[in-house]
Chain A
Amino acid sequence: MAITEEATKELTKGDAVAATVEQPLGILTRPTSTKGWKSWLTTVDHKRIGILYGGAALLFFVLGGLEALAMRIQLATPNGTFLSAETYNQVFTMHGVTMIFLVAMPMAAAFANYLIPLQIGARDVAFPRLNALSFWIFLGGGLFLVSSQFIGGWWSNAPDCGWFCYQPNGGVIFSPSRGVDYYAIGLQITGIASLISAVNLIVTCLNMRTRGMSMFRMPVLTWMLLVTQFLLLFAIPVITVGLFLLMFARLFDAQFFNVAAGAEPLLWQHLFWIFGHPEVYILVLPAFGIVSEVIPTFSRKPIFGYSFMVFSGIAIGFMGWGVWAHHMFASGLGPISVAAFSLSTMFIAVPTGVKILNWLATMWGGKLTFNTPMLFAVAVVSMFTIGGLSGVTHAMAAVDTQQTDTYYIVAHFHYVVFGGIINGLFAGFYFWWPKVFGYKLNEKLGKTNFWLMIIGMNLTFGPMHILGLQGMSRRYYTYSGGYGFELWNMVVSIGAFTIALGVLTFIINIFYSKRKAAELPPVGPDPWDSRSLEWMISSPPPDHNFDEPIDVHGLDEFWHRKYGYDDDGKVIAFATAAEVAQTGDRTDVHLPSPSYWPIVVATGLPIIGYGLIYSLWLCVVGGLFVVTGLFGWAQEPADDPNAVHDDHDEPGDDGDDAQGASALEQSSTEEMSVDG
């Protein structure tokens, strides 16, 4: 552990943690640097952690996308030979696991981390070091899962049981490679990350709002992210139980799924889907939140029916727990269960319909600007509706039984996850990019990106409906000619590569726009003339977020500081964004100090994971990392007492918030790491 202190550091504008005295803490001195690559390892700033989440998720997105392309090469023509049956099983499993657990969830976490504190006017999240811990645990778990693709042979040890890994199909007898072990342990690790993050962000939303920011003045995005965190809080332990049973069954011969010994194969299905259906809303609600920010801004109207938006999100959060068995209609649950879950599934379409209606009503009569973020947001409204409608068809148990495990299902949930979630996340990228990085993404490339992706997704997932109704099963690694599958499979494969071109355009756009940005004027705090607090500070925001706490008097506070109404009720501008926004150049704010310990603790978990699979000695090594990390963590105050702190009584100096927290941070992480 030869991590050494940087002796000197440059003070720059907005550089608020100006630590001057080194304080040795055991073998490691406290990190103070906020510059350079090393500072990213120790940062506790919610904005940087958000960027880390986003960057990691984007890399996993490319990986999951390559897996999708491999499958589409295999299926483009009958009797494909690009992938063997064994490899194909692993590729579709890793595609699903990667896209759901390593892309959609952390990408939502990126937005949550970056935007929640800014939107509620807070200095940081409630527990900055726990926040860093969440990210590093997530990254460790993600890399652990991905490493299964090459440890022990190229694509011979990856999970091959599908993303929901039904039992006893995922047991040692039917899946003898170590893949399912990677699945069970890897998802437990990422689950710990989600759980810690959920606790942290819930406390942040409930406890750290700025003056006047009541719950019902929080932007819809923050609300949706809060509901998501509650869903995570209660859903993650359920999958954790399932994963523990699976792990014990595979590693220690527990009898949970041994049907010969009297075990019940539906147990796993119930545990998985009690987690799995809320998970659908965990994935989609953040995208709904993003759309609810983008559409009002580019319609130049407040969101239609704010309280309906919030309450429909909460309703989805509750009802999401009562529909899980519609994933299991084909398993013979009995007529009463099927009828009950059919009904609840139809009901949950209502709050979702409310949201669609409110977005349309927000756009109705608005001054619409169809730039890239708005295009992606409108794509969510339209494409998600298609996915939602095909979803309601599954509420009819008879139809569902016909469609189970066909490409119709694949088509349905890809309209939800790609049409709803990926489009929503891309809307978010284009919308908040100038806020996060200080430059806008190029519009022309952005629109190319949009059209490639929207045409690509419809070419890819539209024909899957037909293939499914024609009777093509999902997860078959190949098919014979002469069943009428050839044409549509070719179309699907062409569509998949069109999407890939779209994503490539996005990546090119990032670098192209960054280079061009030097020639363009700075974007300023508020490039889109937006409504919520994150636009009221310079772009990118300084480490300390806001120079002064903001007094909030209503919904869309920032917009109301720029605009008012004249005597005739017409909207008039009475201030520019530059006049209203804060400059962010205050340098005397005391902030939570960086820390080495989160990454040390997080490093231990994948090592324990490898230990469980290969040699229990590695568990000892991993355990040492965790224990050392927690010990160091407990010894270290949340705030470096030697950091500059010369304005103790200034309002807005709430850096001490986390101080009493260190003991709890210690205790709760101890529990969590034992649970995991």
Chain B
Amino acid sequence: MAEAALDAHEHPETNTGMSNSKLALWVFLGSECLLFGGLISTYLLYRNETNGGPTASDVFEIPFTSVSSFVLLLSSLTMVLALSALRRGDETRNRIWLLTTAMLGAVFVGGQVYEFTAFLREGLGFTTSPFSSAFYTLTGFHGVHVSVGIVMLMSLVVVSLKGDLSKERAETVELIGLYWHFVDVVWIFIFTVVYLTV
């Protein structure tokens, strides 16, 4: 494959056929799996260590979190729509869907902040118990990941408004989409392990 491309006097392709950036992102996401694996394990170890403070079933509000989880998962759909719009060359729709994705993400993060303050009022502080520390650390790390994703999506919107995000650079959107989907998948695990197994 690489030889054929060189014979045609084109730039050499990569050995795997996947661009360096995309391969790097996959490799990095592999590393992220272990990061969340460690945090989820910590939570599982401590979920019943409430130290006399509120327990999971005392504070969790499953319907509320289900809705915000649905919002986050919906944002994966809009992310796909953004990419497919750009692949068609429709930069306007790409911008709209990117913005929608970012907003859905922001709604999720907002829900998380609301949830945290509600828990705090019910007496579940960060330092209350091993359970609370593990819970806030795990969901907080995820929230930071979503927020970083929002920043990247908004950067894409700005780049697009400047006219620098054309069809040819669809891979950039694809990569940030990959990251976004990964963060969503991680949330499916967290939601199942943390909320649904109370």
A residues contacting B by CB (< 8 A) are: 126-127, 195, 198-200, 202-203, 206-209, 211, 233-238, 240-242, 244-245, 248-249, 252-256, 258, 261-264, 267, 271, 549, 634, 649, 651, 654, 656-658, 660-661, 663-668, 670-672, 674-675
> Contact partner of A256 among B27, B35, B130, CB < 8 A?
B130
B127/A195 in contact, CB under 8 A: no
User: Which of B3, B42, B175 is in CB contact (< 8 Å) with A241?
Assistant: B42
Q: Does B30 contact A (CB under 8 A)?
A: yes
State A22–B39 Cα separation when bound (angstroms).
48
Q: Which of B12-20, B81-89, B91-99, B106-114 contacts A (4 or more CB under 8 A)?
A: B12-20
By Cβ-Cβ distance, the 6 closest A-B pairs, closest first, are A241-B38, A664-B21, A262-B49, A237-B35, A254-B133, A207-B14
- Kindly provide the distance from the CB of B26 to the nearest chain A CB, expressed in whole angstroms: 9
Pairwise interchain contact A261-B49, C-beta atoms closer than 8 A = yes
Q: A634-B155, A670-B152 are in contact. Are A245 and B137 (CB under 8 A)?
A: yes
Residues of B within 8 A of A200 (CB): 24
Query: Given contacts A254-B133, A663-B21, could you give 6 more A-B pairs where the C-beta distance is less than 8 Å?
Result: A237-B35, A238-B38, A267-B42, A660-B172, A664-B22, A670-B152
Of all chain B residues, the one with the shortest Cβ separation from A672 is B28
Which residues of chain A come closer than 8 Å to B49, judged between CB atoms?
261-264
Residues of B within 8 A of A651 (CB): 6, 9, 12
A254-B126, A261-B51, A267-B42 known; A660-B19 Cβ under 8 A: yes
Shortest Cβ distance from residue A96 to the other chain B in the assembled complex, whole angstroms: 23
Known: A244-B137, A634-B155. A664 touches B25 (CB 8 A): yes
Q: Could you write out 19 A-B pairs with CB less than 8 Å apart?
A: A126-B24, A195-B31, A208-B20, A211-B3, A233-B30, A237-B32, A238-B35, A240-B38, A252-B126, A253-B126, A254-B133, A255-B51, A255-B133, A261-B129, A261-B130, A262-B46, A663-B172, A664-B175, A666-B155
A423 to chain B, nearest CB (A): 31
> Hey, which chain A residues are within 8 Å of B129, CB to CB?
255, 261-262
In the complex, the answer to whether B127 meets A668 with C-beta atoms within 8 Å is no
Q: Which residues of B contact A267 (CB under 8 A)?
A: 42, 45
With contacts A264-B46, A654-B12, A671-B148 taken as known, whether A238 is within 8 angstroms of B34 at the C-beta atoms is: yes
Which B residues between 120 and 172 are near A, CB-CB below 8 angstroms? 126-130, 132-134, 137, 144-145, 147-148, 151-152, 155, 169, 171-172
Q: How far is the CA of A264 from the CA of B27 in the complex (A)?
A: 32
The residues of B that contact A237 with a CB separation of less than 8 Å are: 31-32, 34-35, 37-38
Q: Which single residue of chain A is at the shortest CB-CB distance from B137?
A: A248
Instruction: Please give, as numbers and ranges, the residues of chain A lying within 8 Å of B12 by CB-CB distance.
Output: 211, 549, 651, 654
Contact B42 A245 (CB under 8 A): yes
Are A211 and B2 in touch, CB under 8 angstroms? yes
A203-B20 CB under 8 A given contacts A234-B30, A675-B35: yes
Q: Which of A195, A264, A660, A670 is the one whose CB lies under 8 Å from B45?
A: A264
Closest to A123 in B: B12
What A residues does B119 contact at CB under 8 A?
none
- In the complex, the answer to whether B130 meets A660 with C-beta atoms within 8 Å is no
- Output the nearest chain B residue to A236 by Cβ-Cβ distance: B31
List, in ascending order, chain A residues with CB within 8 A of B23's CB.
202-203, 206-207
Report A-chain residues with C-beta under 8 Å of the C-beta of B79. Answer: none
Give the tally of cross-chain contacts (CB within 8 A): 166
Residues A207 and B11 in contact in the complex (CB < 8 Å), given A234-B31, A258-B130, A674-B144: no
**Cα(A589)–Cα(B171), bound, Å:** 27
Asked if residues B137 and A254 are in contact (CB atoms below 8 Å), the reply is yes
Interface: B176 (CB within 8 A):
yes
- Of the candidates A199, A248, A252, A271, which one forms a contact with B31 in the assembled complex, judged by CB atoms under 8 Å apart? A199
Chain B CB within 10 A, most for which of A126, A241, A657: A241
For A262, the chain B residues whose CB sits under 8 A away are: 46, 49-51, 129-130
B179 within 8 A of A: yes
A255 touches B27 (CB 8 A): no
What chain A residues lie within 8 Å of B176 (beta carbons)?
667
Contacts of B6 in A (CB 8 A): 211, 651
Contact B24 A203 (CB under 8 A): yes
Quick check: A207 and B171 within 8 Å, CB to CB? no
Taking a contact as CB atoms under 8 Å apart, the answer to whether A207 and B18 are in contact is yes
B residues near A202, Cβ cutoff 8 Å: 23-24, 27
Q: Given A661-B21, A664-B24, does the pair A263, B171 have CB atoms closer than 8 Å?
A: no
A206 with B128: CB separation less than 8 A? no
Check B134–A256 contact: CB distance below 8 A: yes
- CB A171 to nearest CB in B, in angstroms, measures 13
Q: Shortest CB–CB separation between residue B68 and chain A, in angstroms?
A: 21
- CA gap between A572 and B157 in the complex, in Å: 64
Rounded to whole Å, the gap between the CB of A653 and the closest CB of chain B is 8
Complex alpha-carbon distance, A668 and B152, angstroms: 10
Contact partners of A271 in chain B: CB under 8 A? 38, 42
Of chain A, the residue at the smallest CB distance from B48 is A262
B17 to chain A, nearest CB (A): 9
Residue among B9, B127, B169 making CB contact with A252, cutoff 8 Å? B127
CB of A122, distance to nearest CB on chain B (Å): 10
Query: Which of chain B's residues have a CB closer than 8 A to the CB of A249?
Result: 133
Question: Across the interface, which residues of B come within 8 angstroms of A549, CB to CB?
Answer: 12
**What's the least CB distance linking A671 to chain B, in Å?**
5
Q: Within the assembled complex, what's the spacing in Å between the Cα atoms of A240 and B32?
A: 11
Contact assessment for A663 and B130 in the assembled complex, using a CB-CB cutoff below 8 Å = no
CB nearest to A665 among chain B residues: B21
Residue with the greatest number of chain B CB neighbours at <10 A, chosen from A206, A208, A233, A242:
A206
Q: How far is the CB of B141 from chain A (nearest CB, A)?
A: 8
| Contact status of A654 and B32, CB under 8 A, knowing A248-B133, A253-B127, A674-B144 | no
> Taking A207-B16, A237-B31, A658-B20 as contacts, is the C-beta distance between A255 and B132 under 8 angstroms?
yes
> Which residue of the partner chain A has the closest CB to B10?
A649
Question: How far does the alpha carbon of A656 sit from the alpha carbon of B21 in the complex, in Å?
Answer: 13
Which of A127, A244, A656 is packed against the most chain B CB atoms within 10 Å? A244
Q: What distance in Å separates the Cβ of A235 from its nearest Cβ neighbour in chain B?
A: 8
Q: Which of A249, A651, A656 has the most CB of B within 10 A?
A: A651
Report B-chain residues with C-beta under 8 Å of the C-beta of A668: 24-25, 28
- Contact across chains for A242 and B21 when beta carbons are under 8 A apart: no
- Identify the closest chain B residue to A200 (Cβ): B24
Q: Which residues does chain B contribute within 8 Å of A661, judged by CB atoms?
A: 19-21, 24
Q: Report the nearest B residue to A264, measured CB to CB.
A: B45
Residue of A nearest to B138 (CB): A241
CA distance A675 to B31 in the complex (A): 12
**Cross-chain contact B128 with A255 (CB below 8 angstroms):** yes
Beyond A241-B42, A245-B137, whether A667 also contacts B130 by CB under 8 A is no
Contact yes or no, A667 B133, CB < 8 A: no
Alpha-carbon distance between A258 and B53 when the two chains are bound, in angstroms: 15
Specify which chain A residues have a CB less than 8 angstroms from the CB of B31 in the assembled complex. Answer: 195, 198-199, 233-234, 236-237
CB distance from B16 to the nearest CB of A (A): 6
> How far is it, in angstroms, between the C-alpha of A258 and the C-alpha of B128 when the chains are bound?
11
State whether B127 touches A255 (Cβ < 8 A): yes
- In this complex, what residue of A is CB-closest to B50? A262
**Contact of A199 with B38 at beta-carbon distance under 8 Å, contacts A255-B130, A263-B49, A660-B21 already known:** no
Most-contacted residue by chain A among B2, B21, B151 (CB, 10 A): B21
Q: Quick check: B15 and A240 within 8 Å, CB to CB?
A: no
Closest to A675 in B: B35
CB A267 to nearest CB in B, in angstroms, measures 6
